[in-house]
């Protein structure tokens, strides 16, 4: 019997069980412990023995029941006792798994025996002494911010994030912005390099195509006359080898083109998306449709149209081969090729306009679908589905009508081109037969010339059939080039020191196209670092537009906005974006965890930064109330968050990263009284952190937390001054009597 003392941490109990059996048997508890020791030792002895497998479950259950009855009689164990006995279970696990009764018996024995205080384990230290930097959740757990990150927070791809931030598996690590200026040329270089290889394979393929007509020529003119079996076998082997090699080379070049298409998307995807996001600030949102143009490029590269166009430069080689057979047949092929080129020109001229109209209407229908997706709740609530479908159906019908018109013309011309090719073969065969009768060529030469002529005309016919795809490819390439080469991201900016937060607005004029109505006129004011400003005014006075100008979402028609004396247009966009915070009036969250949304979809930030932003915005208690805390997943429509909760999460996002300037547009529009109290605390926290805050609001509750007030009246400054002065002036006069051209109350605008 084993005497492993690691099984008995209590020395006194060990001595009683091993060295004094009579005393050990004095009480029911000691007898029970002796039985436990015996059972454990027996199981240990049978661990590697086949006999252990023959132990019947009934016998074990019966023995356990008897032991349980003894312990119950001794008032040591009750069947419904739920007291944790993890320590005893851990000590006895090396021997064998024990029943609950045995475990409770051992626990009771250890509880009655004196023992020295065991040293604290590392696990116990972690449990009893959590980090004080991050308070526990409401369920007394440390929460996702107080323990090492192990799960994916932002996406559903199953990949853990590489950093400690909140982006999750579906979010890319924040890295240096792609080089927009060189990306287009890099993509073209990747295509050109692979096309050179593909073109080399194409030349070899077209040479191998001549194997079959030469084979027919040899069979007809030599083998049938010489009746040489050996020659026939050798020629057949050579032709079969040529066909196999042709098949392999064709598969290789198609594979290269497929990988080229993938490489193009890899090279241009991120630059196009970055440039489209930047260009959409001053456009109508259609810039994102250039991503569809990238798909068009990828589809064309892998299409048969490109292969036909790659075969077209080799067509003169086949024409020369026909000339070598007989000049008359060569002239016939040249005439057919010229006819096909004329048909291709007619096809391009007659289908260009209808295809352009089809693409325009399709773009409008797609935009309407996007609008329906964004406003699905309104459409369903107001029963607007029939009207929305009617508008989409109208644009779709116009697109299909134009496309059918273009395709009809293309089909007619393609039919003519196919008829031209077939008639060419008929003419070659007929004229070749005449020449054979005249003794100028043989029958094998006629057949070979017919096959080679068909090969010479096939690429031209394929190009005609795929002309629409080529036109779309060309237009897509033009739009991608224009977007990338004209992007403002091409211009590098000097990385400036971290801003202090001074804000200067100088004579801003904003006249948006196309109606040319003045929205803001001559707006000027200044804020020192740490000051707070409330912008108030009637609806339509330009408050939201001013907020967008302050964060650079839109650019003024004239005038400028300066952060630390530097025009926003001269700041590096990345540096500027990380130095400000913005809460728009229409709050939008991204699909991902709350943590990812607060961290601005970055996954390279410490958890403490997310927690600090939540505390600064006073939303930590709100997040802690969710069952999954910071890891709560937010859908594209913000579910399961309410409007007020979305606004508070977006407020934390605005304060993330220790910004120096924060612009809040109607931050309390969806908040209840508790949310407004949290917002007021956030403004106080921002003041203590020396953050310059501009709050656009219609409610007077927030005015007591600002230093200055700006009153907008029809796009102009009605008043500007300290809170006390402006409120006093507003209480003494009406807005109708304000002088729009007077900055305010002795303050320098």
pLDDT of residue 492: 67
What pLDDT, in 10s, does the model give residues 115-143?
Answer: 444 444 333 343 333 333 444 433 344 44
- How far is the C-alpha of 87 from the C-alpha of 385, rounded, in Å? 64
- At residue 244, does pLDDT exceed 90? yes
Please tell me the least confidently modeled range out of 22-31, 326-335, 452-461, 552-561: 22-31
Q: Are 69 and 101 in contact (CB under 8 A)?
A: no
Q: Is residue 496 part of a domain?
A: no
| The pair of three-digit structure tokens given for residue 42, joined into one six-digit string | 């027996």
Q: Is residue 669 part of a domain?
A: yes
* 3-state SS, one letter per residue, for 381-430: HCCCHHHHHHHHHHHHHHHHHHHHHHHHHHHHHHHHHHHHHHHHHHHHHH
**Sequence-distant (≥ 6) Cβ neighbours of residue 400 within 8 angstroms:** 358
- At residue 98, does pLDDT exceed 80? no
The pTM assigned to this predicted structure is 0.55
- How far is the C-alpha of 428 from the C-alpha of 432, rounded, in Å? 6
From residue 232, alpha-carbon distances to 210, 245, 708 in Å are 17, 20, 100
- How far is the C-alpha of 733 from the C-alpha of 718, rounded, in Å? 12
Closest CA to 221 of 444, 436, 435: 444
Q: Mean pLDDT for the chain?
A: 74
pLDDT of residue 60: 53
pLDDT of residue 62: 64
- At residue 28, does pLDDT exceed 70? no
User: Considering the chain, what percentage of its residues have pLDDT values greater than 70?
Assistant: 70
For residues 81-106, give the mean pLDDT.
44
123's enclosing H/E stretch is: helix 122-128
pLDDT grade, residue 573 (50/70/90)?
Answer: confident
Q: Specify whether 373 is located in the same domain as 483.
A: no
What pLDDT, in 10s, does the model give residues 183-211?
Answer: 777 777 778 888 888 888 988 888 888 88
pLDDT of residue 731: 77
Q: Where would I find the beta strands (DSSP E) of 87-173? A: none
For residues 213-238, give the mean pLDDT.
85
Report which of residues 421 and 736 the model is more confident about. Answer: 421
From residue 738, alpha-carbon distances to 629, 714, 718 in Å are 49, 11, 6
Peptide bond into 398 cis (omega under 30): no
- How far is the C-alpha of 158 from the C-alpha of 632, rounded, in Å? 16
- At residue 162, does pLDDT exceed 70? no
For residues 310-327, give the mean pLDDT.
87
Q: Are 32 and 74 in contact (CB under 8 A)?
A: yes
6's enclosing H/E stretch is: none
b/e sequence 355-380, b meaning 16+ C-beta within 10 Å: bebbbebbebbbbbeeebeeeeeebe
CATH code for the domain of 603: 3.40.50.300
Q: Specify whether 438 is located in the same domain as 567.
A: no
- At residue 95, does pLDDT exceed 70? no
pLDDT of residue 648: 86
| The pair of three-digit structure tokens given for residue 381, joined into one six-digit string | 């609530």
- At residue 338, does pLDDT exceed 80? yes
Domain boundary among the residues 85, 112, 139 is at 112
Report which of residues 701 and 247 the model is more confident about. Answer: 247
- How far is the C-alpha of 416 from the C-alpha of 437, rounded, in Å? 31
pLDDT grade, residue 16 (50/70/90)?
Answer: very low
Q: Specify whether 674 is located in the same domain as 710.
A: yes
From residue 387, alpha-carbon distances to 367, 368, 380, 383 in Å are 15, 12, 11, 9
User: Considering the chain, what percentage of its residues have pLDDT values greater than 90?
Assistant: 3
**Phi/psi zone of residue 635: left (φ > 0), alpha (ψ -120 to 50 degrees), beta?**
beta
For residues 581-609, give the mean pLDDT.
85
**Sequence-distant (≥ 6) Cβ neighbours of residue 544 within 8 angstroms:** 585, 665, 666, 696
Radius of gyration for the chain, computed over Cα atoms and rounded to the nearest angstrom: 41
72's enclosing H/E stretch is: helix 57-73
Measured at the alpha carbon of residue 228, what is the angle toward residues 227 and 233, in degrees to the nearest 5?
125
- At residue 44, does pLDDT exceed 50? yes
Domain boundary among the residues 57, 77, 112 is at 112
Q: Specify whether 541 is located in the same domain as 427.
A: no
Q: Is residue 693 part of a domain?
A: yes
Q: Give burial (CB, 10 Å; 0-12/13-18/19+) of 749.
A: middle
pLDDT of residue 39: 60
| The pair of three-digit structure tokens given for residue 422, joined into one six-digit string | 């077939």
pLDDT of residue 120: 42
Q: Specify whether 474 is located in the same domain as 457.
A: no
| Phi, psi for 331 (deg, rounded to 5) | -65, -35
Report which of residues 436 and 273 the model is more confident about. Answer: 436
Q: Specify whether 195 is located in the same domain as 257.
A: yes
pLDDT of residue 237: 92
Alpha-helical runs (H) found in 438-511:
443-465, 467-485
Please tell me the least confidently modeled range out of 98-112, 196-210, 539-553, 620-634: 98-112
- At residue 94, does pLDDT exceed 70? no
Q: Is residue 160 part of a domain?
A: no
| The pair of three-digit structure tokens given for residue 449, joined into one six-digit string | 């010339």
pLDDT of residue 25: 45
Q: Specify whether 518 is located in the same domain as 543.
A: yes
Measured at the alpha carbon of residue 507, what is the angle toward residues 504 and 509, in degrees to the nearest 5?
120
pLDDT of residue 488: 64
The overall longest dimension of the chain from CA atoms, in Å, is 131
pLDDT of residue 267: 78
Domain boundary among the residues 77, 96, 112 is at 112
pLDDT of residue 45: 55
For residues 551-578, give the mean pLDDT.
84
pLDDT of residue 124: 37
The sign of the dihedral angle between the CA atoms of 562, 564, 570, 571 is negative
Q: Specify whether 516 is located in the same domain as 549.
A: yes
Q: Specify whether 646 is located in the same domain as 719.
A: yes
pLDDT grade, residue 717 (50/70/90)?
Answer: confident
- At residue 465, does pLDDT exceed 70? yes
CATH code for the domain of 438: 1.20.1560.10
Helix (H, G, I), strand (E, B) or coil at 233: helix
Q: Is residue 498 part of a domain?
A: no
Q: Specify whether 458 is located in the same domain as 472.
A: no
What pLDDT, in 10s, does the model give residues 659-708?
Answer: 889 898 888 877 777 778 878 888 888 888 888 899 888 877 778 888 88
pLDDT of residue 46: 53
What pLDDT, in 10s, does the model give residues 611-627?
Answer: 888 888 888 888 888 88
| The pair of three-digit structure tokens given for residue 614, joined into one six-digit string | 């939540």
What pLDDT, in 10s, does the model give residues 493-509?
Answer: 667 778 888 898 889 88
Report which of residues 517 and 248 the model is more confident about. Answer: 248
Report which of residues 171 and 373 the model is more confident about. Answer: 373
- At residue 287, does pLDDT exceed 60? yes
pLDDT of residue 604: 78
Report which of residues 41 and 480 the model is more confident about. Answer: 480
Report which of residues 468 and 4 the model is more confident about. Answer: 468
Q: Specify whether 458 is located in the same domain as 528.
A: no
Q: Are 698 and 723 in contact (CB under 8 A)?
A: no
Q: Are 248 and 474 in contact (CB under 8 A)?
A: no
Q: Is residue 547 part of a domain?
A: yes
Q: CB 315: neighbour CB atoms within 10 A?
A: 18
Q: What is the DSSP letter of 471?
A: H
Closest CA to 651 of 690, 622, 626: 622
Q: Are 555 and 508 in contact (CB under 8 A)?
A: no
- How far is the C-alpha of 425 from the C-alpha of 452, rounded, in Å? 10
Q: Are 519 and 512 in contact (CB under 8 A)?
A: yes
Helix (H, G, I), strand (E, B) or coil at 489: helix
The most confident of the ranges 13-27, 70-84, 288-302 is 288-302
Q: Specify whether 322 is located in the same domain as 409.
A: yes
What pairing do the DSSP bridges indicate for beta strands 503-510 and 520-527?
antiparallel
| Phi, psi for 558 (deg, rounded to 5) | -150, 165
The sign of the dihedral angle between the CA atoms of 67, 73, 74, 79 is positive
Please tell me the least confidently modeled range out of 372-386, 387-401, 613-627: 372-386
For residues 337-341, give the mean pLDDT.
87
Q: Is residue 155 part of a domain?
A: no
pLDDT of residue 431: 92
Domain count, the chain: 4
Q: Are 279 and 287 in contact (CB under 8 A)?
A: yes
Q: Is residue 25 part of a domain?
A: yes
- How far is the C-alpha of 586 from the C-alpha of 594, rounded, in Å? 18
Order of strands across the sheet with 520-527?
520-527, 503-510, 558-563, 566-567
The range of the structural domain enclosing residue 380 comes to: 316-465
**Sequence-distant (≥ 6) Cβ neighbours of residue 419 within 8 angstroms:** none
Q: How far apart are the first and last CA of the chain?
A: 94
């Amino acid at each position: 019997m084993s005497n492993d003392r690691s099984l008995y941490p209590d020395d006194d109990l060990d001595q009683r069980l091993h060295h004094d059996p009579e005393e050990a048997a004095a009480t029911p508890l000691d007898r029970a412990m002796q039985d436990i020791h015996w059972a454990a030792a027996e199981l240990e002895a049978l661990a590697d023995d086949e006999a252990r497998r023959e132990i019947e479950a009934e016998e074990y259950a019966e023995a356990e029941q008897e032991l349980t009855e003894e312990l119950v009689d001794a008032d040591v164990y009750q069947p419904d006792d739920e007291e944790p006995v993890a320590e005893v279970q851990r000590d006895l696990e090396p021997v064998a798994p024990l029943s609950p009764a045995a475990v409770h018996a051992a626990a009771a024995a250890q509880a009655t025996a004196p023992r020295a205080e065991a040293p604290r384990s590392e696990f116990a230290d972690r449990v009893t002494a959590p980090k004080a930097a991050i308070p526990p959740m409401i369920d007394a757990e440390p929460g996702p911010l107080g323990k090492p990150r192990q799960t994916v927070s932002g996406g559903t791809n199953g990949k853990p994030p590489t950093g400690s931030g909140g982006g999750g598996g579906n979010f890319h690590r924040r890295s240096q912005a792609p080089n927009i200026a060189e990306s287009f040329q890099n993509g073209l270089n990747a295509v050109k390099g692979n096309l050179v290889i593909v073109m080399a394979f194409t030349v070899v393929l077209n040479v191998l195509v001549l194997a079959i007509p030469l084979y027919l020529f040899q069979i007809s003119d030599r083998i049938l006359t010489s009746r040489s079996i050996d020659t026939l076998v050798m020629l057949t082997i050579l032709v079969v080898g040529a066909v196999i090699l042709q098949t392999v080379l064709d598969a290789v070049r198609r594979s290269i083109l497929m990988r080229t298409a993938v490489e193009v998307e890899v090279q241009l995807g991120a630059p196009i998306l970055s440039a489209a996001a930047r260009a959409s600030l001053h456009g109508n949102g259609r810039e994102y449709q250039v991503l569809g143009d990238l798909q068009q490029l990828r589809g064309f590269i892998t299409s048969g149209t490109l292969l036909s166009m790659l075969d077209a430069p080799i067509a003169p080689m086949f024409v020369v081969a026909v000339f070598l057979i007989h000049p008359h047949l060569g002239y016939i092929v040249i005439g057919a090729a010229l006819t096909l080129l004329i048909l291709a020109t007619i096809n391009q001229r007659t289908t260009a306009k209808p295809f352009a109209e089809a693409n325009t209407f399709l773009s409008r229908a797609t935009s309407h679908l996007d609008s329906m997706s964004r406003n699905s709740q309104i459409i369903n609530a107001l029963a607007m589905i029939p009207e929305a479908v009617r508008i989409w159906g109208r644009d779709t019908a116009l697109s299909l009508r134009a496309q059918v018109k273009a395709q009809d013309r293309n089909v007619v011309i393609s039919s003519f081109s196919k008829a031209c090719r077939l008639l060419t073969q008929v003419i070659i065969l007929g004229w070749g037969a005449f020449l054979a009768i005249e003794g100028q060529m043989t029958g094998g030469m006629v057949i070979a010339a017919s096959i080679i002529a068909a090969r010479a005309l096939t690429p031209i016919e394929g190009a005609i059939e795929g002309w629409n795809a080529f036109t779309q490819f060309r237009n897509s390439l033009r739009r991608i080039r224009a977007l990338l080469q004209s992007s403002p991201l091409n211009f590098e900016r000097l990385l400036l020191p971290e801003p202090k937060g001074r804000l200067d607005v100088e004579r801003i004029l904003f006249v948006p196209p196309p109606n040319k109505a003045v929205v803001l006129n001559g707006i000027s004011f200044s804020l020192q670092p740490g000051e707070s400003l409330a912008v108030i005014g009637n609806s339509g006075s330009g408050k939201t537009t001013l907020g967008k100008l302050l964060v650079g979402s839109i650019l003024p028609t004239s005038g400028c906005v300066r952060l630390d004396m530097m025009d926003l247009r001269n700041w590096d966009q990345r540096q500027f974006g990380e130095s400000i915070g913005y809460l728009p009036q229409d709050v939008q969250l991204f699909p991902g965890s709350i943590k990812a949304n607060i961290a601005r979809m970055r996954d390279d930030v410490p958890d403490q930064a997310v927690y600090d932003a939540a505390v600064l915005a006073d939303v930590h208690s709100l997040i802690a109330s969710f069952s999954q805390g910071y890891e709560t997943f937010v859908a594209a429509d913000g579910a399961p968050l309410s409007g007020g909760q979305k606004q508070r999460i977006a407020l934390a996002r605005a304060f993330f990263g220790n910004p120096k300037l924060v612009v809040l547009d109607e931050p309390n529009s969806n908040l209840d009284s508790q949310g407004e109290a949290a917002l007021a605390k956030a403004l106080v926290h921002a003041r203590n952190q020396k953050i310059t805050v501009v709050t656009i609001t219609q409610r007077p509750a927030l005015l007591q937390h600002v230093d200055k007030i700006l009153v907008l009246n029809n796009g102009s400054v009605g008043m500007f001054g300290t809170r006390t002065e402006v409120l006093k002036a507003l209480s003494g006069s009406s807005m109708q009597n304000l002088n729009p051209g007077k900055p305010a109350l002795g303050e320098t605008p």
